[in-house]
Amino acid sequence: MTRVHAHWRAFLGYAVGIAAGAVAWQLIGLNSAGFVFVPLTTTLSSLGSLISDGSLPSALASSFSVYAVGEAAAIVAGAAVGLLFARRVILRRAFEPYLVALYSTPMVALIPFLLALIGLGFWPKVIVVFLFAFFPVEFATQRGAQSIAPELLDVARSFRTPEPKIWRHVVVPYTVPYLMTGVRQALARGLVGMIAAEFFLSAGGLGSLLITQSEQFDTGAMLAVTLVITLTGVILMAIGRTVERRFARWRVTS
């Protein structure tokens, strides 16, 4: 009985939150100048026309291809470098301060340099996504692989397990849950990189669509695109959390 009650109360809490947000959006929109803020209903009709005139679908396709290529490259490279650095102490120690500095670098500030070096287009944007997403993956992988219990490695070594087999049966399975934590962070950071890259490096994608609309003071369309971007972020985060939780079962708990 009490559990059912708690359930309803939780549901009610979420429902009230969403309803209040929607009502506030509508009311603020109705009471402000059109270029400042528009009601939810106007935003939704802007969304409808963005979809029907094809600009939103084509922007989504362009954004997604950049994002997918950049993320995939970042995950593969981050995992590889992380594992290598964890297993080769001298490399880790030598490069650690530079990795930390790069991890703290606001990567958007590199966009002008990239523009001067390789110009506009698909690949510069992919590089920006890669730069945003690489370091969380590398850090998480390295930290995971470094924390492998020495007993596991000692046992493997006492059976004269060759290094490739140690990697396959001990290092990689042990590290995957940590890697997935990095992947979840990289999914969010890569999205930031994607939008920022599209602001400055292209005529295409969601970011570039936003810039065009802001130049036209088309607030309804901007809110619609922002809504789509938020939804994309939420979905990606849900995917990241699910994957992370799925592989968390591999974690060795002692």
Partner 1 sequence: MSTGLASGRRVIGRLAGANGDAGGARAAASRRERTQVFLARLAAGLGILVLWQVCAMAFAPAYIARPTGILGQLPAVGGDQAFWSAAGSTLLAVVEGLAIAIVIGTVLGLVMGRMRDIDRALRLYVDSFYAMPIVALVPLLTVWFGYTPTARLAVIVMEAILPIVFSVAEGGRTLSAEFTDVARAYRAPWWRVWGGIALPASLPYLLAGIDLAIGRALVGAVVAEFIASLNGLGYYILFNVRSFRENDAMVALAVLVVFALAVRGLVGLFVRRGLPWYRAG
Q: Does 201 bind partner 1 (CB under 8 A)?
A: no
From the CB of 130, what's the least distance to partner 1, in Å? 16
Please report whether residue 239 would count as binding partner 1 according to CB under 8 A. no
Cβ-based burial of 113 (10 A; exposed 0-12, middle 13-18, buried ≥19): exposed
**Segment interacting with partner 1, rule: CB under 8 A, options 63-71, 119-127, 148-156, 209-217:** 209-217
The one among 7, 20, 34, 44 contacting partner 1 by CB under 8 A:
20
List 76, 80, 95, 169, residue binding partner 1 (CB under 8 A): 95
Q: Please give the single-letter amino acid code of residue 53.
A: D
Q: Which of 32, 252, 63, 19 is nearest to 150 (CA)?
A: 252
Do the beta carbons of residue 190 and residue 70 sit within 8 Å? yes
Residue 50's nearest CA partner among 232, 212, 215 is: 212
Burial grade of 215 (CB within 10 A; 0-12, 13-18, 19 or more):
exposed
Question: In whole angstroms, how close is the CB of 94 to partner 1 at the nearest point?
Answer: 4
Under the binding rule (CB under 8 A), the answer on residue 4 touching partner 1 is no
- Alpha-carbon dihedral angle through residues 230, 15, 44, 56, given to the nearest 10 degrees: 30
Q: Which CB, 170 or 183, lies closer to partner 1?
A: 183
* SS3 assignment, position 148: coil
Selected binder of partner 1 within 72, 108, 176, 243 (CB under 8 A):
108
Cα–Cα–Cα angle for 23, 28, 34, rounded to 5 degrees: 130
The dihedral over CA atoms of 144, 145, 151, 155, expressed in degrees to the nearest 10, equals 140
Q: Is 109 in the site for partner 1 (CB under 8 A)?
A: yes
Of the candidates 72, 115, 156, 176, which one interacts with partner 1 according to CB under 8 A?
115
Closer CB to partner 1, 156 or 237, in the complex: 237
Contact positions with partner 1 (CB under 8 A) in 74-93: 90, 93
Which residues would be at the binding site for partner 1 (CB under 8 A)? 9-10, 13-14, 16-18, 20-21, 35-36, 90, 93-98, 100-101, 104-113, 115-117, 188, 191-192, 194-196, 199-200, 206-207, 210-211, 213-214, 217, 219, 222-223, 225-226, 229-230, 232-234, 236-237
